[in-house]
Structure 1
Amino acid sequence: MTAAFIREVRHEPFPHATAMSALPSSQCEALLDWFEGDAPWRLRIASFYEQWEMHLDAVDMPSAVRSVVSDEVTANLSAGLLVPIGARLPHLTEVTAHKLLPGQTIRIHNDHLEDGETHRILLQLNRGWSDEQGGMLMLFGSAAASDVRRIVRPLHGSSFAFEISSRSYHAVSTIASGERYTLVYSFRDAERA
């Protein structure tokens, strides 16, 4: 896997890239089967969201999905999705998984913390997802809800990478039906340390 899987790179409203097939479909299916089955989800409630999550470094992953946290996979993802948006030496800090259920939403935020992660890659695992189910990733030009600049569908097997900064405002619209799953890779760029 190399940068050949890039579909699109944009720099507004903040640097981001979208792609399809960043992971092999068999790996996506195995992850989704585990997520829908006996994955050890824990509810987390914060000021701007409520979601089910798990930290993949803290759970016993089935052998069929362990490779998603391998050095090879994370290096390929960062080379193909983060380098094109300006990351120079991205280093993986953690991999988490998120599950949103009907009624759950993630309000506008930017993920920016002083000395925190600098980039994130989201891999969507949502077999047969439709627009009517909600769960759209919305990108904003500011913290104002009226300032929507782009809407990204959570299509199965798609990925979205972005630079975390004070202007990387985004949100996820309310889930109307179904379960929305996302694999989240967080990075810190050594060049920005």
Structure 2
Amino acid sequence: MTLPSFDKVRSSTDPFPHFRVGGILQDDEADRALHWLRTSAPWALRVESFYEQHEFSLITSELGPEIVDLASPEFITSVRSELRRQFDVKDELELVDVGAHRLTSGQTIRIHNDFLEGRESHRMLIQLNDGWTAEQGGLLMLFGDDQPESLRHVVIPTHGSGFAFEISPRSHHAVSSIRDGERYTLVYTFRRPGEVR
């Protein structure tokens, strides 16, 4: 059974509460999942006001053996427990979805905060991008507000790494345009109990 590793967590509150974790998956686990995403995943294009990407839900889709463990109850429980610990959440967190996102050449996610009152409270990203470099674009950017000039940190979507944050009006972030290659991310979204479904 594949479980995430949180041995290398680095947490911060600048510009909003978040943490990064290297090696959340072992290399072979990340490689297998990435291969399935590249060759067998049921991608569907989604276009919104501030982004365009391909996506699907791991919860409602038929998954191959290469990736099924990453949507297992045990894996999700481990992610949930770490989110509660890192962000000092007293209540249980309810799973909203486990999604997969693919960004291709020219696609961008503009500055946004993911905040929808009462709907989602915490998000964990797992990057699956073997050999990714900053020159390819697709950089996760963290901002102090909704203006580009407030850029605080840039995160390279390193293969098998994780990034988690508390969703709030402050959690402004974006993904820079893809210049080369395809960028893959698994997205674990939770909400506090009693929030709107």
TM-score by length of 2: 0.92
1:146 corresponding residue in structure 2: 149
Report how far residue 2 of structure 1 moved: 7.6
Report how many aligned residue pairs link the two structures.
Answer: 193
1:74-97 CA-partner distances (Å, limit 9, x unpaired):
121222344212333222210000
User: Equivalent of 2:50, from 43, 48, 51?
Assistant: 48
2:178 corresponding residue in structure 1: 175
Q: AA paired with 1:77?
A: V
Name the CA distance, whole Å, in 2 between partners of 1:187 and 1:13: 21
Tell me the SS of whatever aligns to 2:149. Answer: coil
Name the CA distance, whole Å, in 2 between partners of 1:180 and 1:55: 17
Tell me the SS of whatever aligns to 1:146. Answer: helix
TM-score by length of 1: 0.93
1:58 corresponding residue in structure 2: 60
Name the CA distance, whole Å, in 1 between partners of 2:68 and 2:6: 24
Name the CA distance, whole Å, in 2 between partners of 1:76 and 1:18: 16
Alpha-carbon RMSD: 1.8
Report how far residue 190 of structure 1 moved: 2.8
Name the CA distance, whole Å, in 2 between partners of 1:76 and 1:29: 21
Tell me the SS of whatever aligns to 2:42. Answer: coil
Runs of 4+ in 1 over 6 A off after TM superposition: none
Report the CA distance shift for 1:57/1:2 in structure 2 as closer, same or farther (over 3 A).
Answer: closer
In the TM superposition, 1:1-193 aligns within 5 A as: 4-88=6-90, 89-190=92-193
Q: AA paired with 1:85?
A: F
Structure 2 residues not aligned, in runs of 5+: none
